[in-house]
Amino acid sequence: MKCVVDFLNVGFGEATVVRMVDAERSFCLVVDGGDVDPLTNPRRCSLEQYMKEQAIERIDVLIITHFHRDHIGGLLAVIGKVTIGQIWLHVMLPAHILQSGLDNDSTPLLASLTLYKELLNQAKRLAIPIKLVKEPHCFYEQGISFKLLMPNSERLQMLEDELNKLDIERLDQQQERLNDIDRLLNETALALLIRSAGKSAVLLTSDVGLDFWQPYMSEIGQVHVVQAPHHGDARHISQQWLGQLSPQIVIVSADDEGTYQLPQQQFEDMVRAHSQAEVYYTEAATTTHSIIRIDVNEWRLELVE
């Protein structure tokens, strides 16, 4: 069965699609949905546009690593238009937020929270099964293994506690709590390890920090393709991390506009100094592609326009 991993150019954000196809069946896994209107930049490719162009009618599993808008903004446009077998996530909003009239885009976090509430409620209306993941979980498809890597349980509990305490009616009086939630979303994101033929093939890192990896490094070993943590943030990698993973390819999912001062030049400098990896960007000043495609069977990279 042919397996490809497509990193979409969604500007600043992440949307990754894993597709497995043979003559008899297909399997589609989506990790996050980006947040982009491709009409504003013809190089970019929204998840909705990708589904149409690839004639994909079913997502078997949709994984949400965390609910920052640059990771989930493109999902509402897809839900209800293609069949979704299951949604996997590890942070469920408390009932008082889900049932609230929250509709606030005054800050990036409140826009993210509003969008996530709408997303979860839409999934409920459409009767899409939601799997709440609470521990590392592995599943297999035709010889390819997918392992969800969980964040630190204490930090995850802190995030859940802050969400439970959030008073939707008094948002203007809770800036410190909102800042904590914003920070914890990155610190408690999910990661995904894809293995083929017993070898670590692709590591999707979302926005996690360096301390996330300590329980998993020996299991991961060396990995062929690594997605840059937090859109090419040098604070999220180290010489030791690069040395242990020994990637051949590093893919940075970010725009070329310097959003949040990312990606950082120091990131690429560190990768080149401490690994043999080639660095590829979903978007850079001179790029024209809309997708970076990894053929897992042949270990081949293709830039798709």
The mean per-residue pLDDT over the stretch 17-30 comes to 90
Structure tokens given for 281:
């960007």
Q: Which domain holds residue 105?
A: 2-304
- Please report, rounded to a whole number, the percentage of residues in the chain having pLDDT higher than 70: 100
How far is residue 112 from each of residues 117, 174, 214, measured CA to CA in Å?
Answer: 9, 16, 29
Q: Average pLDDT, stretch 30-59?
A: 93
Average pLDDT over residues 221-239: 98
pLDDT value of position 40: 80
pLDDT in tens, 147-191: 999 999 999 999 999 999 999 999 999 999 999 999 999 999 999
pLDDT band at 261 (very low <50, low <70, confident <90, very high): very high
| Whole-number pLDDT of residue 1 | 80
pLDDT at 142 over 80: yes
pLDDT of residue 23: 67
Q: What is the pLDDT of residues 270-297, one digit of tens each?
A: 999 999 999 999 999 999 999 999 999 8
Q: What is the mean pLDDT of the chain?
A: 96
Tally of domains within the chain: 1
Q: Does the structure show a pLDDT above 80 at 60? A: yes
More confident residue, 205 or 298: 205
pLDDT at 42: 86
> What average pLDDT score do residues 107-116 get?
97
What is the pLDDT, as a whole number, of residue 66? 98
Q: Are 44 and 10 in contact (CB under 8 A)?
A: yes
| pLDDT of the residue at 25 | 84
- What CATH number does the domain containing 281 carry? 3.60.15.10
